[in-house]
Structure 1
Amino acid sequence: MAIPPTYINESKHLIRIQPEQLDLLWKEGWRHFGTHFYRYSWALYDDVLCMVVPLRVDLEGYKHSKRFKKIISKNKHFKTVIEPIALTTEHHVLFEKHKQKFTHSIPEDIYVFLSRQPDKIPNPTYQVNIYDTEREGKTNPVDKGRGKLIACSFFDIGNEAISSVYGMYDPDYHVHSLGIYTMLMEIEYAKEQQKNYYYHGYSYDLPSMYDYKKRFPNIQAYDWEHWQEPKKIFTNPLPKRFYHLVKLADLDLEHYKGSQIRSVGEFIHCSYSEQVARSANKYFSEEESILILHIAPERVYSLIKDEYAPNGLLFPHVYGYIPRMAIFRTTKISKNKNGIFEFDETIDDEFYE
């Protein structure tokens, strides 16, 4: 496989760095874990060579999307504390729980991402702590009285911008989209500090597990020469996750067994997140509970077509089969006390995180 002529692959070790230096590095696509600073412009993803695309949010005129407002609203009862980094036992316990989501390259400890002295080396790091005040936390002086630590993220502060370093959350709270929520709190902090940009990592110019970072409003993308509108770099449309609804009694049927879900008709009926509750209440009204299959479209190799239903809405239809590897989560939902199915549209906002 030929290496592109614009290939960049650099790293350096920095013990101390000033805020204005951070701004310059971020503008040129650099990131860091601890004292290890690095940048690279091309990578292999699923054996396909693709361009690494650093991203940032332009905070001038930034407003949260409707989806992000929902995430903030459903988590506002938690206690949020933004402060200079001060790692406690709670943080290490949380990291051990969070790293269970890794299936390969499992990090040994939190110091894979932070230096041993993150309050000063290579620069003072800040943290966003999210606490469940209804649960008892540890007895560390810093955490005492705040409740149970359920999410945390770390970020750097430059003169013109802030940059996210790493985030983690308690898997028991996965329905709260806490990975996205801590990023939104970092954005709020950056706006309060009158910063110009929020650097939130990188993605690829092809659909990938990092696509959730493309969903932020006002994003800019770096082509390794200029920051510009992302649509000039991401030539492929951002895939939109969809869902297949199943009766619990149907799980034993032949077409739901094996390594793939097969169509019993012309195509497999699916719904987008905002259509799930509507579909459940219309087509599964006789059921008390149903199963929702969460599907990553980039893992489906059959034809996916958006087609109109009689009500004029566009629904995704799969002509062929859905491999098991494309189903990244299953959720059982039951009718509420009013006999209505409800579905949290934001449940998968951090799936690719």
Structure 2
Amino acid sequence: MILYQAPEPSPSVPCPYLPDRHLTYEHFFAGEVRPQELDWLLTQGWRKFGAYYFRPACQGCRACRPVRVPVHHFQPSKSQRRVLRLGHQVTMRLEPLHYRPEFFELYARHSRMRFGQEADADDFLVHLHSPSCPSMLALYHLGERLVGVSYLDIGEESLSSVYFVFDPDYAALSLGNLSILREIDLARRLGLAFYYLGFVVAGCPRMAYKERFRPQERYAWERKAWEKTGRSPGP
């Protein structure tokens, strides 16, 4: 790993997840991160976009917890099996990380329709198409139409979901959940141990969908250890 900048705290900004809170990251910039180094960073709660690596460092708040699925123990719930059946015609194709204009077009539509934000092409390239570790794409098609793009990092033991964008016209297919289910299975077939989902945030409903993929493990900042969470009741 080449460290371009040592870890340091970011400026405090309004929290995008919880009202009346402020967010601070510990962050650094790095390149040529090897698979085993990526594994270690993920186990310590780090996430990344491009060469930017970060983890929460908020004073007095530990609501954001990294979450991972031990793929060899995962079994889809009844509702998740319905998602798989609903999306059975959606194909997934793996490709090396590369850029095509249609990827940004899909990202821009997704940002506009889902979040009411206008996408910036330069930010898109810096955050998602500037690899600093082994990375790949999972492309989701319905027939000939590209309906989803998943940005994935791969370590020796880990598959990490960096970002997923989908065509809002196909929201009824639950493409976000479908991609997670397909990628958990991909990690299992690749002989990896964990699929990393990013953060769950206590008190943030829009992040709650990640809690449904059980069993899972969540990182306890105070103990610097992963805690097992079993399957919750329900469909």
TM bracket (short chain): 0.7 to 0.9
The answer for unaligned runs of 5 or more in structure 1 is 1-6, 134-146, 232-236, 241-273, 275-353
Instruction: Give the RMSD, CA atoms, in angstroms.
Output: 2.5
Whole-angstrom distance in 2 between the partners of 1:10 and 1:76: 41
Q: Deviations over 1:126-160 (max 9, x none)?
A: 11111121xxxxxxxxxxxxx11011111100001
**Aligned partner (choices 31, 34, 38) of residue 15 of structure 1:** 31
Shift of 1:81: 0.8
The answer to which structure, 1 or 2, has the higher relative contact order (CA under 8 A, 6+ apart) is 2
In structure 2, which of residues 188, 193, 198 is the aligned counterpart of residue 196 of structure 1? 193
Which residue of structure 1 aligns with residue 12 of structure 2?
none
Name the aligned partner's letter for residue 193 of structure 1. Answer: L
Matched residue, 1:162: 159
1:186 aligns with 2:200: no
Structure 2 counterpart SS, 1:229: strand
**1:125 matched to which residue of 2?**
135
In terms of fraction of residues, the more helix-rich structure is 2
Number of matched residues? 207
Aligned counterpart for 2:147 among listed residues 123, 146, 150: 150
Residue identity matched to 2:104: H
Residues 63, 43 of structure 1: alpha-carbon distance in 2 compared, 3 angstrom cutoff: farther
Aligned-pair CA distance for 1:173: 0.4
How big is the shift at 1:209?
A: 1.8
**Is contact 1:74-1:176 (8 Å) kept?**
yes
In structure 2, list runs of 5 or more residues that go unmatched: 1-22
In the superposition, the TM-score normalised over structure 1's length comes to 0.54
Whether 1:98 and 2:110 are equivalent positions in the alignment is yes
In structure 2, how many angstroms separate the alpha carbons of the residues matched to 1:167 and 1:223?
A: 25
The runs of at least 4 consecutive aligned structure 1 residues that moved more than 2 Å come to 41-44, 109-113, 205-208
Q: Distance in 2 between matches of 1:132 and 1:172?
A: 12
Distance in 2 (alpha carbons) for counterparts of 1:12 and 1:115: 18
State the 1:64 CA deviation: 1.4
| Letter paired with 1:152 | V
The one-letter code matched in structure 2 to 1:14 is A
**Which of structures 1 and 2 has the bigger CA Rg?**
1
Q: What's the % identity of the aligned pairs?
A: 27
TM-score, normalised by the number of residues in structure 2: 0.80
**Counterparts of 1:90 and 1:107 in 2: how far apart (Å)?**
13
